[in-house]
Amino acid sequence: MSTTTYREALRQALIDAMTADADIILLGEEVGVYGGAYGVTKGLIELFGESRVIDAPISEAAIVGAAVGAALTGLRPVAELMYVDFAGLAMDQIANQAAKSRSMFGGQMGVPMVLRSQGGTGRSAAAQHSQSLEAWFLHTPGLRLAMPATVSDAYHLLRQALTQPDPVVFLEHKGLYALKGEVGDAPDAPWGAPAIRRAGSDLTLVAWSRMVHESLAAAEALAGAGVSAEVIDLRCLNPLDLGPVFASVARTGRAMVVTEAALTGSAASEIAARIGEHCFDWLEEPVLRIGGEDIPIPVAPALERAAIPTAALIADAARWLVHREAPPWA
């Protein structure tokens, strides 16, 4: 095992994958000379040349459209959108071309591409550069969706994404690039399977991306108050293997789903509904959702922090769910 940062784990995954597979190319705004968003692709143009690391025009539709075409003709492109907020400019290419080609061509060809982008808060980047939009992609059949929370998953999930036969939307979190951790010799779990980050017996906390860390901090605080919380990191939202989540809820009898995204219409709502449907006989309380406020993300740091869940809010909500203490929203 080696210690590195989330950013460097992603970069090393690209280096290792491109070394092993000459069909992998990178394209996006400033991925070459500048080094891409937050420096993930820094130095790759020197390693692999301009024919494989391509600085594209500032056009999300062109970037994704070119990647779809390249994938259909035998390459395995990695397209980078600097911010996930800009995905709307390429949604026809993502949702109508990449996602549907395998089905519309009767399985004769697929689109084996990876769409890398980053989202989330933490940099005071304001409403147009701070969203968590995974629900957009989760709602589109034909897309895979990975959201690594750990340094090890940043490496292994990206390597796994680059072997999939269908398009993978790979969403990083801008607040995790400097996170330090170890990269294991093997993935924490198989592709599409969740990982239990902390065992517990009173409550199941389900999260992904940066909210895994907030949930772990909440679980640590809860332990001091006599509440044992199990924290499950979904890792992938498509494929979505909720079997381990259902098994956990069967033991704990309570579940809470935590997301940084705006709560209405969120991935958390879908996951909470599935838990409620499958775990009806085991639940002692209704499934609780904790998510971001239904507002554009503020630019002021204090307001930005107040717009999304924190470890303190998660812990307060958990105490209410387990002990029926005063709810944090009262």
Q: Where are the domains of the chain?
A: 2-183, 195-323
d(CA 56, CA 54): 6
**What is the share, in percent, of the chain residues with pLDDT greater than 70?**
98
**Annotation marks residue 323 as catalytic:** no
Task: Decide if pLDDT at 265 tops 60.
Answer: yes
What's the pLDDT band for 328 if we cut at 50, 70, 90? low
Compute the distance between CA of residue 309 and CA of residue 24 in angstroms, rounded to an integer.
37
Q: What is the pLDDT of residues 276-290, one digit of tens each?
A: 999 999 999 999 999
Give the pLDDT of residue 326. Answer: 66
Residue 245 binned pLDDT confidence (cut-offs 50, 70, 90): very high
* 329 pLDDT above the threshold of 90: no
pLDDT digits (tens, 9 = 90+) for 36-73: 989 999 999 999 999 999 999 999 999 999 999 999 99
d(Cα 308, Cα 277) in Å, to the nearest integer?
27
pLDDT, the chain, mean: 96
Residue 68 confidence (pLDDT)? 98
Reported as a single tens digit per residue, the pLDDT across 291-314 is 999 999 999 999 999 999 999 999
Encoded amino acid at 1, one letter = M
- What are the tens digits of pLDDT across the range 80-133? 999 999 999 999 999 999 999 999 999 999 999 999 999 999 999 999 999 999
| 3 bridge partner residues | 182
CATH superfamily of 2-183: Thiamin diphosphate (ThDP)-binding fold, Pyr/PP domains (3.40.50.970)
The enclosing H or E element of 104 equals helix 101-104
Catalytically annotated residue among 129, 156, 173, 213: 129
Question: Would 2-183 and 195-323 be classified into the same CATH topology?
Answer: yes
Q: How far apart are CA 247 and CA 252, in angstroms?
A: 9
- Is a pLDDT exceeding 80 seen at residue 1? no
User: What CATH architecture is 195-323?
Assistant: 3-Layer(aba) Sandwich (3.40)
pLDDT of residue 255: 98
DSSP H or E segment with residue 152: helix 151-161
Give, in degrees to the nearest 5, the angle at Cα 11 between 9 and 14: 110
Cα angle for residues 150, 156, 162 (degrees, 5° grid): 130
